[in-house]
Amino acid sequence: MKQDIKQLVTSTCANYINGKCILLDKECPLTSGEEYRGKKIAASDCSCTYFEKAVLPANKTLEAVYYGKETVLNKTCKGCGKGFNSVSNRAVYCSDICRKSARKKTFIKANQKRAK
Ligand SMILES: [Zn+2]
């Protein structure tokens, strides 16, 4: 879905010319991400005021995606098995509750092994 936003930028944004944003005079942050104080920011976390005002309103579906209204469940919780959405690659639990109860379980397991 984020890919579609990139497509919308490259095909529709008036400031996107030859792979560059002429407003920012660099690669469009929405297609290739950007760097802020030495840290890499993913394209999906970047925003563009021009894009939001001039390009997005014409495409309601992508507008919802852009603002995160449409939740794409890209993860499955290791604790409860429910789908959840996270931007972090390392997240394996949907919530703190699952994280804590999972930790408790491993603790009990470790104790049982010791008892044998
Ligand atoms: Zn869970």
Residue 92 tokens read as 């394996």
Report CA(93)–ligand 1 centroid distance (Å).
5
| pLDDT surpasses 80 at 74 | no
Report CA(25)–ligand 1 centroid distance (Å).
44
35: CB partners within 8 A, 6+ apart: 41
**pLDDT tens-digit map of 11-34:** 999 999 998 999 999 999 999 998
Report CA(92)–ligand 1 centroid distance (Å).
8
Report CA(103)–ligand 1 centroid distance (Å).
12
Distance CA 64, CA 111 (A): 48
**pLDDT tens-digit map of 30-51:** 999 988 889 999 998 899 999 9
Contacts 24+ apart (CB under 8 A), 10-14: 12/55, 12/58, 12/59, 13/50, 13/51, 13/54, 13/55, 14/54, 14/55
pLDDT, position 64: 77
Report CA(96)–ligand 1 centroid distance (Å).
8
